[in-house]
Amino acid sequence: MAESKGPEKLYKEPAVRVPTLSRLSTIAKSLGLEMEESELMAYRGAISDILADTYQRLYELPDPKLPVKYPRTPGYRPSPEDNPYNAWYWRCDIKGASSGKLHGKTVAVKDNTCVAGVPMMNGSLTLEGFVPDVDATVVTRILDAGGHIVGKSCVENLCCSGGSFTAATGPVVNPHNKTRMSGGSSSGSAALVAGGQVDMATGGDQGGSIRIPAACCGIVGLKPTYGLVPYTGIMPIEFTLDHTGPMARTVYDTALMLEVMAGYDGGLDPRQPRDLKVPEYTSLLTGKIDNLKIGILKEGFGLKNSEADVDKMVREAAEQLGTAGGAVVEEVSVPMHSDGTQIFGPILQIGGDRMMFEGAGFGTSAEMYYDTTLQEAFSRGLKCHSNDLSKSCKLVRLIAKYLHEDYNSVFYGKAQNLGRELCKAYDAALEKYDVLILPTIPKKAPVFPQENPPMEEYLERAFESIPNTSPTNITGHPALSINAGFSDGLPVGMMIVGRKFDEVTVLNVAFAYEKIRDTKI
């Protein structure tokens, strides 16, 4: 019996459905367009043709994916007994190459970063259940260097907090004192490194989110120069603020991890310059600083919420680089630093809302790698779980929507223009001084807010730590936090800021201080 032939083309659902006249009418009115039904019908026909041709074909073309090179299993959510700081979001076991710079090192990956086959939540119910199908570039580089990825670290709700209490998975406690926060948004990464559960971790930094938790937990955290480390495969917040970098217990391990993570990503991340060169940072850690000039940044001290012991300890630590290290140490003033947070706010709020919330996590108008699987998951999750966003995320949404609709987001443009002036102000100081030094955060690790806190307390705990860190997110200068010692049993962070792409000097000053500090102990 002859086999019957089926139809040449089977029916399939269109990639994009043709909008109804009612939907088009609503859209037209929202755009201030007055149209008769006949005109709307004509536009509907044109749209139908475009959707059937361009968008259907685009949908059918295979979506390029980042490579996944190393085998792994999905892992598991650890029990409370195995998660003493509530710092693990997920445990996994991904072994990298059999040799390399990170061979033998255990690594936690911040949970805003894609690891294929391992769940990713980014601290928010909007992404609960999402499993990436790609490895971020930094993940591949860590594995290529022999690193052993043992889990994903908890983060703040969509990374929008400098505290450690907004994640949907609960608060992350400080290993030095469980009544204190570990800092955010890389809260889990800092706690795991400080608590000895991993050797090193990745962090993300849009306003201080590597350096704040590093200061709170007494470890080393480096926000590299903007673009030095590719952001490919990591959920963005705001294109001009996004940074990712290393966190470790020592300066050497921080430098080692940076060697592995840094470098040009073949054009997948337009934040990066094409002529990027990566030194071997570890081989340049001499600890010799007697040829350097160090500026103590006046405006970083004596803030409204500064603690006197923090200011005193950081100033004394900076001066030791002169007395014990031989550097010239002087006070320097950059008055515009005091306005850094006010310049930063509109960029984060208006820009972050447009890119992350309105732009399905990635926005538009940048020639970069778009993780469309993540975009789809976040778009769906946002529709279901907007009410479950943290108060800090809701604040961003509300103020950005208001300013966009009533003031056309003009404040975003002005903030970006002023950001360039702030960059020039730092550059002018860094022409005279090799690095600038100031407290990473104005105080020791803050206490957790009370249960069901009023709005004022909630937002204060979320954003009180950013005055000194957020300005360098705008300008892109490298900034490292190192522990300057302890006061009342809590770490005190000292921040070292350097010239763009001069991580060598920043790391070497930190290395010199680390030796001075540890010799005293």
Per-residue pLDDT of the chain (521 residues; tens, 9 = 90+): 556 666 667 878 899 999 999 999 999 999 999 999 999 999 999 999 999 999 999 999 999 999 999 999 999 999 999 999 999 999 999 999 999 999 999 999 999 999 999 999 999 999 999 999 999 999 999 999 999 999 999 999 999 999 999 999 999 999 999 999 999 999 999 999 999 999 999 999 999 999 999 999 999 999 999 999 999 999 999 999 999 999 999 999 999 999 999 999 999 999 999 999 999 999 999 999 999 999 999 999 999 999 999 999 999 999 999 999 999 999 999 999 999 999 999 999 999 999 999 998 888 888 999 999 999 999 999 999 999 999 999 999 999 999 999 998 899 999 999 999 999 999 999 999 999 999 999 999 999 999 999 999 999 999 999 999 999 999 999 999 999 999 999 999 999 999 999 999 999 999 999 999 999 76
Q: Is the dihedral of CA 339, 340, 342, 346 positive or negative?
A: positive
Ramachandran area for residue 439 (φ above 0: left; ψ -120 to 50: alpha; else beta):
beta
In this structure, are residues 502 and 443 in contact, taking their beta carbons and an 8 Å threshold? no
In this structure, are residues 352 and 396 in contact, taking their beta carbons and an 8 Å threshold? yes
DSSP E strand boundaries for 345-478: 435-439
| pTM flag (> 0.85) | yes
Q: 263 Cβ partners below 8 Å, 6+ apart? A: 141, 229, 230, 276, 278
Whether 209 is a known active-site residue: answer yes
Alpha helices in 18-104 (DSSP H): 21-30, 37-50, 56-60
Whole-angstrom distance, CA of residue 419 vs CA of residue 351: 14
Nearest alpha-carbon partner for 381 in 89, 169, 152, 124: 124
Q: What is the DSSP letter of 76?
A: B
Q: Which of 105, 110, 443, 500 is catalytic?
A: 110
Whether 69 is a known active-site residue: answer no
Q: Which of 209, 392, 465, 481 is catalytic?
A: 209
Residue 59, Cβ neighbours under 10 Å: how many? Answer: 12
β-strand pairing of 173-174 with 106-110: unpaired
Q: Which of 185, 390, 392, 465 is catalytic?
A: 185
Whether 110 is a known active-site residue: answer yes
